Amino acid sequence: MKIAIVCYPTFGGSGVVATELGLELSKRGHEIHFITYSQPVRLELLGNNVHFHEVHVPEYPLFHYQPYELALSSKLVDMVKLYGIELLHVHYAIPHAYAAYMAQQMLKQEGILIPIVTTLHGTDITLVGSHPFYKPAVTFSINKSDAVTSVSESLKQDTLRLFDIVREINVVPNFIDLDKHQNNFTDCQRTMLADDDERIITHISNFRAVKNIPDVISVFNDIQQEIPAKLMMVGEGPEKEHAENLVDSWGLTEKVIFLGNSNEIDRILCFSDLFLLPSTSESFGLAALEAMASGVPVISTNSGGLPEVNIDGFSGFLSDVHDVKDMSSKALSILRNPEDLEQFKLNAKAQSLKFDIHQIVPIYEQIYQKTLREYLVSFK
């Protein structure tokens, strides 16, 4: 099948999932066209079956805001016609589902029929999309999609609660390519980051307020008062400077390493002992799954879809949002005893196997086939 994938090309989870999905689909013989404003960060492999088409929004002084969704829908129309694309899979409702619907309608005028699959990722529903500014457009775009998927049951329920949805929502969880998390690095340079007796704690995110970065630092502060430890902070975002100041004011600069954005999180995770994800809201928690796939237990909150990913007392522990003391004591209960830590590492890896890319991507393929069939039949 010829499929266009529209996503945010950044380090955010939705862009990562969309990119990994496209790459896996291409390995399974589909022709994939990524259509977005810059090359997705994890898209290293462009080949016969993987294309990237940049959406360019020309600067024009009359526009106070440059109309990205207009440019995206025009680009979709052009690429569908040029490459004979059969289906649009858009990740994130705003503005992608909206732009895809406009493209679909323009193409219909020319007798070209193409269905839209929309995947909801979380913040498009829980933080941004439900804002009164966007709600009518998001509701419309979801209801006008020909198939809708959400990355967790929790996100599905949030969507049904916040919007008037008439479409069925299929839960298709995020996935992981376990081959990329084999922990078989020969150049695993743990010694450059921490002493042998130090536990390595890791946090990876886009440093948005929803990630509760101060809680990461508070939990780590509690941990390092009890046992030797280092904290690896991976990512960039609006809360990073505040986090650096906090680390400095608590005298933790020697123990906290800010690594910035990285395309090599598997290398960072390969020497981590514990992953912290104390988010206020998390539709799935792809970063937690990536940690678990590298055999790293997770201390997370119990918000959103996290309990569907991190199993309390098995792959790690869950706590209420902002219950730093609970997170710290659970973290220490895992880290103190080497046998317990080893068991949690094995459990984390075992839990990640449920989200194997080879199990999940065929579900998307079935959705594509059904959606295309039903869409074309509806015009007969």
Query: Under the rule (CB under 6 A), what is the footprint of ligand GMT?
Result: 12-15, 17, 92, 121-123, 126, 151, 174, 206, 208, 210, 281-286
Give me the least distance between CB of 9 and ligand GMT, in Å please: 11
Contact 17, 34 (CB under 8 A): no
Give me the least distance between CB of 364 and ligand GMT, in Å please: 13
Give me the least distance between CB of 88 and ligand GMT, in Å please: 18
Which residue number, 222 or 236, has a Cβ lying nearer to ligand GMT? Answer: 236
Which residue number, 341 or 363, has a Cβ lying nearer to ligand GMT? Answer: 363
Question: Residue for token digits 């508070």?
Answer: 218
Give me the least distance between CB of 156 and ligand GMT, in Å please: 13
Give me the least distance between CB of 236 and ligand GMT, in Å please: 12
Of 117, 194, 105, 51, which is closest to residue 372 (Cα–Cα)? Answer: 117
Which residue number, 19 or 283, has a Cβ lying nearer to ligand GMT? Answer: 283
How far, in Å, CA of 351 to CA of 168, rounded? 28
Which residue number, 229 or 309, has a Cβ lying nearer to ligand GMT? Answer: 309
How far, in Å, CA of 150 to CA of 171, rounded? 5
Give me the least distance between CB of 340 and ligand GMT, in Å please: 27
Which residue number, 198 or 236, has a Cβ lying nearer to ligand GMT? Answer: 236
Give me the least distance between CB of 219 and ligand GMT, in Å please: 19
Give me the least distance between CB of 36 and ligand GMT, in Å please: 13
Contact 173, 121 (CB under 8 A): no
Cα 153 from chain centroid (whole Å): 15
Contacts 24+ apart (CB under 8 A), 167-174: 167/142, 167/143, 169/120, 170/367, 172/119, 172/360, 172/363, 172/364, 172/367, 173/284, 173/308, 173/309, 173/355, 173/360, 174/13, 174/17, 174/284, 174/286, 174/289, 174/355, 174/360
Of 67, 1, 4, 11, which is closest to residue 290 (Cα–Cα)? Answer: 11
The amino acid that residue 38 corresponds to is S
Contact 246, 118 (CB under 8 A): no
210 pairs with which residues across the strands? none
Which residue number, 77 or 286, has a Cβ lying nearer to ligand GMT? Answer: 286
Question: Residue for token digits 């084999």?
Answer: 182
